[in-house]
Structure 1
Amino acid sequence: MKITRHIHACVEISQGNDRIIIDPGTFGAPDLDGATILITHNHADHVDPELLKPGMTIYAPRSVAHSIPVECHIVEHGRNFTVGSLSVEVLGSEHAMLTHSIPIAENVGYLINGRVLHPGDTFQPIKDVELALVPVNGPWVKMLDVEGYLKKFPPKRFIGIHDGIVNDRGLAINKKFLTHLGETYGSEYSPLEKGESLEI
């Protein structure tokens, strides 16, 4: 499988001719033509309705299905599916808490071929996953949360995502801390930049 980082939480996973793009949001997205689109939740940084066109194959939780202008397959925890050679396990149901005054939103994660985890906006409690895409910045997450996740559920390898609100100085700080946390808790940190890929 080839994993390509795009912008913020948008990640592309491909194997042969099969392509999945997760969370093409308003911060930007690659060309979606020919890809199957997976959406974790209905926040704008994870889904841009203007990018979604009739005829696209889209999987999303119910709250997203009611807010986008095209048909999609509704997913929920345990409702799994395949995209060609790629199997997709749907995990979880809730977004991480933003504030006590804002209701908790619906959120699902996706585990691809049992190897690559995109959690959306939460930390999915899966230990020893081969590659985890780990949210590292946002109103709901701080570096202590990342550390707690890596300590309790260390993946073999991880990529930091959800950092589109951070400037270049903040990204450099992220890289320093994520490298340290990976070394401390036995997870290999892969600092992919926008447009960069790795294969597993």
Structure 2
Amino acid sequence: MKITRHIHACVEISQGNDRIIIDPGTFGAPDLCGATILVTHNHADHVDPELLKPGMTIYAPRSVAHSIPVECHIVEHGRNFTVGSLSVEVLGSEHAMLTHSMPIAENVGYLINGRVLHPGDTFQPIKDVELALVPVNGPWVKMLDVEGYLKKFPPKRFIGIHDGIVNDRGLAINKKFLTHLGETYGSEYSPLEEGESLEI
């Protein structure tokens, strides 16, 4: 499988001719033509309704289905489906808490081929996953949260995502801390920048 980082939380996973793009949001997204689209939740940085066109194959939780202009397959925790040679397991149901005064949004994660985890906006409690896409910045997450996740549920390897609101100075600080945390908790950190890929 080839994993390509795009902006913020948008990630592309491909195997042969099969392509999945997760969370093409308003911060920017690659060409979606021919790809199957997976959406974790209905926040604008994870889904841009203007990018979604009739005829696209889209999987998303119910709250997203009610807010986009095209039909999609509704998913929930425990639902499994396939995209060509790629198997997808749907995990979780809630977004991490943003504030005590705001309701908790619906959020699902996706585990691809049992190997690559995109959690959306939360930390999915799965241990020893081969590659985890780990949110590292945002209103709901701080580096202590990332450390707690890596300590309790260390993936074999991880890529930091959800950093589209951070400037270059902040990204450099992130890289320093994430490298340290990976070394401390025995999880290999792969510092992919936008447009960069790795294969597993």
Q: Return the offset for 1:57.
A: 0.1
Matches of 2:177 and 2:83 in 1, distance apart? 35
Matches of 2:39 and 2:80 in 1, distance apart? 14
Deviations 1:99-146 (CA, angstroms, capped at 9, x unpaired) = 000000000000000000000000000000000000000000000000
SS of 2:178's equivalent in the other structure is helix
SS of 2:146's equivalent in the other structure is helix
Q: Return the offset for 1:89.
A: 0.2
Q: Return the offset for 1:11.
A: 0.1
What is residue 34 of structure 1 aligned with on the other side? 34
* Structure 1 residue ranges without an equivalent (≥5): none
- TM-score normalised by structure 2 residue count: 1.00
* Structure 2 residue ranges without an equivalent (≥5): none
Q: Return the offset for 1:84.
A: 0.1
Q: Return the offset for 1:182.
A: 0.1
SS of 2:104's equivalent in the other structure is coil
The aligned length equals: 200
Deviations 1:154-174 (CA, angstroms, capped at 9, x unpaired) = 000000000000000000000
Matches of 1:105 and 1:50 in 2, distance apart? 21
Matches of 1:172 and 1:102 in 2, distance apart? 31
What is residue 43 of structure 1 aligned with on the other side? 43
Q: How large is the Cα RMSD of the aligned pairs?
A: 0.1
Matches of 2:41 and 2:162 in 1, distance apart? 13
Q: Return the offset for 1:25.
A: 0.1
Matches of 1:66 and 1:134 in 2, distance apart? 27
Matches of 2:35 and 2:11 in 1, distance apart? 12
Q: Return the offset for 1:45.
A: 0.1
SS of 1:21's equivalent in the other structure is strand
Q: Return the offset for 1:153.
A: 0.0
Q: Return the offset for 1:38.
A: 0.0
Deviations 1:65-88 (CA, angstroms, capped at 9, x unpaired) = 000000000000001100000000
Matches of 2:164 and 2:56 in 1, distance apart? 25
Q: Return the offset for 1:41.
A: 0.0
Deviations 1:15-70 (CA, angstroms, capped at 9, x unpaired) = 00000000000000000000000000000000000000000000000000000000
Query: Given the alignment of the two structures, is residue 24 of structure 1 paired with residue 24 of structure 2, yes or no?
Result: yes
* Matched-pair identity in %: 98
